[in-house]
Amino acid sequence: MGAAGSSALAGLGLPALRLPAQSRPGWLGVAALGLAAVALGAVAWRRARPRRRRQLQQVGTVAKLWIYPVKSCKGVPVSAAECTAMGLRSGHMRDRFWLVIKEDGHMVTARQEPRLVLVSISYEKNSLIFSAPGMDQLVLPSRPPSTNTLHDCRIFGVDIQGRDCGDEVAQWFTNFLKTEALRLVQFDTKLKGRTSDKLFPVSVQNYQVAYPDCSPLMIISEASLGDLNTRLEKKIKMEQFRPNIVVRGCEAYEEVSASRKH
């Protein structure tokens, strides 16, 4: 067998056959040549066979990224973020991983307290910095001590836990909203999230969320907002939808059809 035949067999994971001249019966030589021909043919077929490549098609461009650390408070624009199973993350800042609650554990959002949307948040040196009209800034470490109390919370009738963030920030929110005593809690990935089967009657995918209404990521396109505004007397802004990912360069509502396909 020639060198080409030996290398071909080795490439297929078969041992190379060495046949010293005139030391084996003729039928063995014929068999070896036949095997070499099959091997070479298989290699040639593999090389000649067209490879199926995934065809990538651009359907849009990410225009903006937003993380909303505290449910119902203002978002933080970021230039890059990690897309995790439970939403966007930038450093220790996670999307909707903090929640304002009553002392009995029931959530407090802008649906009950519209002034929550006036709370601005920035992120520096692994800390959240809260600002609001008439209030002094408050700096909150992004991770509360593990010894802080775990609260049983309730979001849209589904139970979930959260770790208390301390008295100072609790008093800050209580003073700003001028309401009953409030607490701020933070979700920890070691805790159990709200599962998709409890959020939708029929769930096509199993996943968990912390404090978002129902999904880890919220996507909207500029074209969809533009189309909606053509039918409204009073125009609305993108921030009112509180999306995580804003896409440009696609048709209106194409982000909805794309999500159904995948």
Per-residue pLDDT of the chain (262 residues; tens, 9 = 90+): 444 343 333 333 333 333 344 444 443 333 333 434 344 344 444 555 556 677 888 888 999 999 999 999 999 999 999 999 999 999 999 999 999 999 999 999 999 999 999 999 999 999 999 999 999 999 999 999 999 999 999 999 999 999 999 999 999 999 999 999 999 999 999 999 999 998 887 766 889 999 999 999 999 999 999 999 999 999 999 999 999 999 999 999 998 876 555 5
Dihedral (Cα; 220, 225, 231, 236), 10-degree rounding: 110
Q: What is the pLDDT of residue 23?
A: 41
The token pair that represents 65 in the structure block: 């990224």
What's the pTM?
0.76
Q: At which residue do the structure tokens 């609001």 appear?
A: 132
Q: So what's the pLDDT on residue 201?
A: 76
Nearest to 34 by CA among 13, 19, 52, 21: 19
Residues 6+ apart with CB under 8 A from 258: 59
Tokens of 78: 């970021």
CB 73 within 8 A of CB 57: no
What's the confidence (pLDDT) of residue 236? 95
Residue indicated by tokens 């070691």: 190
pLDDT of residue 56: 80
